[in-house]
Structure 1
């Protein structure tokens, strides 16, 4: 199979699983500590699955929050590929491969938008990098240890966010932390 055919197959599979994810999505509302910043800023940690439709729905609001808060709030996106999502792990490795080229945020958007014009030779080569796969799996293990059971799961200053992950709800929680 050619590299372009493999890449096209991956993209089509991601899109198909996103649609199927609407059926299988689940959310946990327990509060558990997660990594937080030692520099005194508010830190928002998001564990996501690139095949999760709720993660896709939350992404534009998170991007808007990043732009609004700038340096006052630290956003840390981590992978939590759900085992029942066949291509979530590979999609996460793809994002990390793009990150090795300084394009991680761009690739998140492209993956969520399911666009097909993002394949380049250096990116395709990076997909086979076992260190990137290990990074993704380490983040999933860290998320499991912190109590992540579904995606998207957000932690704000180490406390699990339990509301609907809308822009407004996340903004309210971040503003509460900034006012402390």
Structure 2
């Protein structure tokens, strides 16, 4: 056997091993990652709907025709989420009853009070006050966000101002079920590839434009006309 032939066979063996490793890695990844639908000419690929909206997901607006569904994974302490909040509120008001607007929890680990704020909203939801607390948390974000200490006392004051039953609220705030509800949203977000907030999905696909009012309105109008 010539030296060149030996080298060629050696290189071929190495390539075969590399290919096998890549195939195995892809197979293992596929077991844990939901498969996305293929991309279409009209936009990016959609994601599995079962991870986007659950039966108990919080809806700020509900449409009968399901032509438009916006799902936002958010962190109440996230400044970028706070910046997007007025745009989402504007489209919610303008398209009330014509679009589905769904909010999912995704508190980021770098924010001291993000998980607590999500549990505050969920505890309020147990008294049918989710939207009221959602609004107050964003409207007051500058007063409590980016703090290094717990803002539980501040949140308790918000709950009292909202007229909640404080005994029930405190119980639900500390309940394991409330923490699990927040973690369930986080789990769905991670399954969808969410890495930061806000992450917004428009009709099952990651939003491909900046979430300004103008951009959201343009996409909503186009979808409603279709």
TM-score between the two structures when normalised by the length of structure 1: 0.76
How far residue 156 of structure 1 moved from its aligned partner, in angstroms, is 1.0
Greater shift in the superposed pair: 51-60 or 122-131 = 122-131
* Residue-pair matches, total: 151
Structure having greater relative contact order (Cα 8 Å, sep ≥ 6): 1
Q: Does 2:223 align with 1:177?
A: yes
Contact 2:66–2:99 (CA<8 Å) still a contact in 1?
no
Contact 1:34–1:155 (CA<8 Å) still a contact in 2?
no
Contact 2:122–2:130 (CA<8 Å) still a contact in 1?
yes
What is the aligned partner in structure 1 of residue 172 from structure 2? Answer: 126
How far residue 119 of structure 1 moved from its aligned partner, in angstroms, is 3.1
What is the aligned partner in structure 2 of residue 151 from structure 1? Answer: 197
Q: Does 2:174 align with 1:160?
A: no
Q: 2:47 aligns with which of 25, 33, 54?
A: 33
How far residue 63 of structure 1 moved from its aligned partner, in angstroms, is 1.4
Q: Secondary structure at the match of 1:59?
A: helix
Q: 1:138 aligns with which of 142, 164, 184?
A: 184
What is the aligned partner in structure 2 of residue 3 from structure 1? Answer: none
How far residue 34 of structure 1 moved from its aligned partner, in angstroms, is 5.2
Which runs of 5 or more residues in structure 1 are unaligned? 1-29
Contact 1:31–1:161 (CA<8 Å) still a contact in 2?
no
How far residue 32 of structure 1 moved from its aligned partner, in angstroms, is 5.2
Which runs of 5 or more residues in structure 2 are unaligned? 1-43, 54-63, 144-153, 161-165
What is the aligned partner in structure 1 of residue 78 from structure 2? Answer: 52
Contact 1:154–1:160 (CA<8 Å) still a contact in 2?
yes
Q: 2: CA distance between counterparts of 1:53 and 1:34?
A: 28
Q: 2: CA distance between counterparts of 1:49 and 1:99?
A: 16
Contact 1:33–1:146 (CA<8 Å) still a contact in 2?
yes
Q: Secondary structure at the match of 2:222?
A: helix
Q: 2: CA distance between counterparts of 1:128 and 1:160?
A: 33
Across the aligned residues of Structure 1 and Structure 2, the Cα RMSD in angstroms comes to 2.1
What is the aligned partner in structure 2 of residue 75 from structure 1? Answer: 101
Q: 2: CA distance between counterparts of 1:32 and 1:125?
A: 39
